Amino acid sequence: MATVSICSGHMAAAACDHEISNAQKISARIANEWPLRPSQDRQTRYVQKIADQLIPVIKLNMDSRNLNWPSKNRWRFLLIRDLAVNAYSAGNGQVYMTDGVYSFADSEAELAAIIAHEMAHELIGHFCQHDERLATHSIGSFTQVIDNTKELEADALAVEILQHAEFPPQAMLTVVKKLPVPQAGINNQRNLRIKALQHQLRHAGTVPFIASPEFIHIKQEAVSGNTLHK
Ligand SMILES: [Zn+2]
């Protein structure tokens, strides 16, 4: 994963009927090609812990939205031992993040924003839609799909999720602002996302989000490549 991106897209979309099998295929390939952290190590459990704070509030507050949930309501968050920054959804509730996400995020609020954004792709049903007008970039043997509309939709829902879960929603904006500019011009994807988030958050004010000692410790372990803690 040579590129730096936080969900510049998601894995190639599947027809809804095929979302589960497609996600299984993608996950098998990822497990084959990339070194995954054990599901019980500290960095992975911390991501799961934050996700576990988000899932019940989504159910509680957004039940009327007809959201798309993974089969058996099962979400899986897996960490890849790679310091390049990347996060993406494979569909059917399977979300992958690199260790680099820990170096990128400066607080658990920003980590929660990245998790919420990836969950939002699933919840909106992006893996049930056919993609048009797509740009792509390759990661290993994978092709990530870049779709501005879906990124804007996922950002917007992530802000709502963060608000319901009492994480500062401004963290979604700070995450997007930190992304590298992938292309020149005022209408590049990052600028569009920043403008949309600034509009959505125009009444939210500014809230400082301070990293907890637990987050800092887990981040330092991830970034230092310390893989012995379980
Ligand atoms: Zn995305």
Annotate 46-100 with DSSP letters as a single string.
Answer: HHHHHHHHHHHHHHHHSGGG---PPGGG--EEEEES--S--EEEEETTEEEEETH
- Domain residue ranges in the chain: 10-223
Give me 129's structure tokens. 């839609």
Nearest to 207 by CA among 169, 154, 155, 158: 169
126 Cα–ligand 1 center, Å: 10
108 Cα–ligand 1 center, Å: 18
10-residue mean pLDDT series, the chain (230 residues): 47 56 89 92 96 95 88 92 92 94 96 97 84 49 69 96 96 93 70 95 86 96 66
Q: Spell out which residues have Cβ within 5 A of ligand 1, the ion.
A: 7, 151, 154
> How far from each other are the two terminal CA atoms of the chain, in whole angstroms?
25
Give me 191's structure tokens. 């600028």
The four Cα atoms 2, 125, 203, 104 give a dihedral, to 10 degrees, of -20
Q: In this predicted structure, what is the pLDDT of residue 19?
A: 83
* Sheet with 10-11: strands ordered across: 10-11, 142-146, 135-139
7 Cα–ligand 1 center, Å: 4
Q: Please state, in angstroms and rounded to a whole number, the distance separating the CA atoms of residues 58 and 81.
A: 29
Length of the chain as a residue count: 230
Q: Please state, in angstroms and rounded to a whole number, the distance separating the CA atoms of residues 43 and 51.
A: 13
Bridge partners, 95 (sequence order) = 77, 89
8 Cα–ligand 1 center, Å: 6
Pairing of strands 94-98, 142-146: unpaired
Reported pTM: 0.86
DSSP state of 90: E
154 Cα–ligand 1 center, Å: 6
CB 14, CB 127: distance < 8 Å: yes
